[in-house]
A and B are shown apart, each in its own frame.
Chain A
């Protein structure tokens, strides 16, 4: 277990995190677009894409919430060694990691009207990601896009808070998609 918590980081941290950030930027700037994201391995059940995202965006300055199912001693050790992010309650979290059904959406900060950027970014672990499902429109989307979201009501409620709201990343294996608060989500 010790071995597992010490390994799995980027081989070339500066270059690998630069590439991972570009995938994260592209995914969030073009909601619905699925990017590949590899190079990191965290203890199960954290996906390689989520592990790379954590290494790229989180550090000792970003309080992190681990949802039940992703809150194991092995994962905490891995985060303590590679990232150093304090593990906190959802109310204090800048980032959160977990499966959709385990994340307490209502508890995360959505920002303030003065500082809408002070909201949580959620990394939602999924079994698969594909470009079918609810219709997405809004900034970053030329006409419309489709993404296999777990539901739509929560995202419509989140969009209604704009410019406040939560921002989402969806990860499955080595695949990554983004859904910022600005995206309109409709059932089809």
Chain B
């Protein structure tokens, strides 16, 4: 065990973050301001998520960290090691074995359970920010439930491109009240926002925490004649053959070769372990 306080942050900071999390739970989708601390990593590397995770962890937890679905990328590996060192918690790469999952830009493919907490790293928590840059104005728009501008934006997408072109960070309405940015998850993941797990969102640089309690109604904004479509690349996974997962496109050579693989590495690996095979799976070696 290191000489850090449990889970790195001091107790006063954790109390402040915990109070913000509880107010976020009480008002689903509302962005609660909090006094974000400097962390030993730059803004943009998940400082908000790390602070929320630090405030939630107990010594008995098992932590999983994913970055774009992958357990083995730099950001995920560093954050997992950070909490191994400062909180002495167990870590895992398996979704079903984790009690706290910190994520950047994906929701795991395997269904979450009521015993799990999903912590999102959020870059820009304000869904209206690119439509109205002033915080004083967006705060007023949320207070007055004035979300017409967001529908205009989606309408302009349709007028220009023939469909709603927003593919990630697709805005949702939580429990019929607040319009919320689900962080830059692909819109494919939006239906999974209605979950039995507790979902917490931390934006470190922007100093906001918000939450979706279990079984909360989360509706992706759309129009009657242009309903929400959680689309994905129209291919099966080239490694595990899954046709129901979100895929990454990987360029394999400079002659136009490419492959599609599950973005959720743990889900893909467990499917391969069950014997599922895709187009580019290595040939079975005779046992």
Contact = CB atoms under 8 A, between A and B. Distances in A.
Given A116-B27, A167-B22, A139 B58 contact: no
Given A59-B15, A182-B26, A117 B57 contact: no
Nearest to A181: B26
Interface string A152-175: 000000000011010100000000
B196 A14 contact: no
Contacts of A121: 22
A141 interface: yes
B96 interface: no
A29 B25 contact: yes
Contacts of B12: 59, 61
B175 interface: yes
Interface residues of B, number: 46
A117 B15 contact: no
Interface string A12-43: 01110111011011101110000000000000
Contacts of A187: none
A148 interface: no
A57 B213 CA distance: 19
B14 A17 contact: yes
Contacts of B25: 25, 28-29, 140, 180
A117 B41 CA distance: 29
Contacts of B55: 21
Please classify how large the interface on chain A is, using the bins under 10, 10 to 19, 20 to 34, 35 or more.
35 or more
A14 B7 contact: yes
A117 B23 contact: yes
B213 A29 contact: yes
B110 interface: no
Given A18-B7, A22-B58, A141 B215 contact: yes
* Max chain B C-beta neighbours (<10 A), residue from A15, A59, A139: A139
A17 B16 contact: no
Residue from B25, B58, B140, B217 with most neighbouring chain A CB atoms (10 Å): B25
Nearest to B117: A25
Contacts of A116: 27, 30
Given A14-B6, A17-B14, A25-B56, A57 B22 contact: yes
A138 B217 CA distance: 9
Contacts of B27: 116-117, 162-163, 180-182
B151 interface: no
B22 A163 contact: no
Contacts of A140: 25, 213-216
A62 B143 contact: no
A157 to B, nearest CB: 16
A15 B6 contact: yes
Contacts of A139: 28, 175, 212-217
Interface in B195-230: 196, 198, 211-217
B139 interface: yes
Nearest to B26: A180
Interface in B21-57: 21-28, 30, 32-33, 55-57
B150 to A, nearest CB: 18
Contacts of B140: 114
Interface of B: 5-7, 11-12, 14-16, 18-28, 30, 32-33, 55-60, 114, 117, 139-140, 143-144, 175, 177-178, 196, 198, 211-217
17 contacts: A13-B11, A18-B7, A18-B58, A19-B60, A21-B18, A25-B198, A30-B213, A56-B18, A117-B30, A140-B213, A142-B215, A162-B27, A163-B30, A163-B177, A180-B26, A180-B27, A181-B27
Given A14-B11, A165-B26, 10 more contacts: A15-B58, A18-B14, A25-B25, A29-B25, A30-B213, A116-B30, A139-B216, A140-B214, A140-B215, A142-B215
